[in-house]
Amino acid sequence: MSLTFLFRTITRDFAKIRVSHHVQSLHTGGQLLAAEKALLIKLRKNTGYTFINCKKALERFDNDVTQAETWLHEQAQKEGWSKASKLLGRKAKEGLVGLFIQDQAAVMVEVNCETDFVARNEKFQQLVNDVAFVTLAHHLNKTQSKTGYVKSVLGSDELNKLCVEEGASLSDRVALTIGRLGENMSVRRAVTLNVPAEWHIGSYVHGGVRGQTEVAMGRYAALVVFHGGEKGELEVLGRKLGQHIVGEAPVALGDMDDLPGGESETRLLPQTFLGDPSRTVAQFLRGQQARVLDFVRFQCGQTASDEAK
């Protein structure tokens, strides 16, 4: 065998080995890329953060999704607090009122942001949802030994201190949402109620947000506590009373025998009933054999001077 033939044979075999190894590397690399892409998609879905940040987190922790997710939350919280401090002075008069009723208890909260655009964002609505549930849980835990009618009104400072999970406070959750959406936000106020078994809670939300199945949300909302009424019609009665309170904005209850004060009347019972202008609210209630005991009305962005009118 000549040296020339031997050299050609060795060169040809070596080339085959190189091609085979290259194809195998491409196949393995493709599998690796697919696996990394799946992790990236999973992390993006779990956290809602950008693909760039998720990729950075996976690279930082060698594709450990759990560590990457923890790190992303920590970074977002830091960024959120940084943005929150920068945006602190900006006015936040838009937002949503959230309302939730559970058995004989109810909660109504107001969470503010700067624009209606952000109020329609799912992340902001999730914040309203969280505020409502955390506030109600706090109320039920605090009043579990109490009986009768219990009403609690909470301001911004008290609400911000409430614990959400794993030591985080509501103020932490607000800062995190600020970091994600880039607008100033605040948890302004809340009211919680507990009523005896023979009492009822009615409600109405105006300008409602579609798709919210648990916490009803809108720009205006009312809770009304009442007694009596026809069984099977209690929800309708509560809704009608709530609609009137939202629409006519009474500031006091009044008495069943109060005389109407005209269009400027601010007491609920002597006001002309929105659902039947031929009667006052008191007259409507007599026909239903019912009695209103208390009510609360929230208007998103309402100032203290507005509430006094």
DSSP string for residues in 91-135: ---EEEEEEEEETTEEEEEEEEES-HHHHTSHHHHHHHHHHHHHH
77 with 119, same domain? no
Find the CATH number of the domain harbouring 202: 3.30.479.20
For the chain, how far is it from start to end, CA to CA, in angstroms?
A: 111
pLDDT of residue 49: 67
Residue 50 forms part of a structural domain: yes
The closest of 215, 144, 140, 138 to 169, measured between CA atoms, is 138
Question: Do 154 and 54 belong together in one domain?
Answer: no
pLDDT value, residue 216:
95
Q: Are residue 80 and residue 195 in the same domain, yes or no?
A: no
Answer left, alpha or beta for residue 79, where phi above 0 means left and psi between -120 and 50 means alpha: alpha
Inside any domain, residue 14: no
Same domain, 103 and 58: no
- 41 and 126 inside one domain: no
Q: How far apart are CA 132 and CA 124, in angstroms?
A: 13
Establish if 190 belongs to a structural domain. Answer: yes
Are residues 52 and 147 both part of a single domain? no
Query: Which of 87, 107, 129 lies at the terminal end of a domain, its last residue?
Result: 87
Q: Which domain holds residue 49?
A: 37-87
Instruction: Let me know if residue 146 belongs to a domain.
Output: yes
Is 205 a member of any domain?
A: yes
One domain, residues 139 and 193? yes
Domain endpoint, select from 87, 112, 147: 87
Task: Please tell me the total count of domains within the chain.
Answer: 2
The DSSP code for 178 is H
Residue 61 lies in a domain: yes
Torsion-angle region of 229 (φ positive above 0: left; ψ -120 to 50: alpha; else: beta) = left
Strand order of the sheet with strand 216-218?
150-155, 186-194, 105-113, 94-102, 216-218
Instruction: Give yes or no: residues 41 and 169 share one domain.
Output: no
Would you write out the chain's pLDDT as a tens digit for each of its 309 residues? 554 544 454 445 544 444 444 434 434 344 445 557 787 888 777 766 667 778 877 888 888 888 887 777 776 666 665 666 776 678 889 999 999 999 999 999 999 999 999 999 999 999 999 999 999 999 999 988 888 999 999 999 999 999 887 778 898 888 888 888 888 999 999 999 999 999 999 999 998 787 766 899 999 999 999 999 998 999 999 999 999 999 999 999 999 999 998 889 999 999 999 999 999 999 999 999 999 999 999 999 887 555 544
pLDDT of residue 82: 64
Give CA–CA dist 218/207, Å, rounded. 5
Question: What CATH number is attached to the domain comprising 72?
Answer: 1.10.8.10
pLDDT at 18: 46
Identify whether 247 is part of a domain: yes
Q: Is residue 19 part of a domain?
A: no
Q: Are residues 248 and 173 part of one domain?
A: yes
Please tell me what DSSP assigns to residue 11.
H
pTM (two decimals): 0.75
224 shares a domain with 81 = no
Of the three residues 87, 122, 149, the one that is the final residue of a domain is 87
Q: Are residues 201 and 80 part of one domain?
A: no
Residues 190 and 291 in one domain: yes
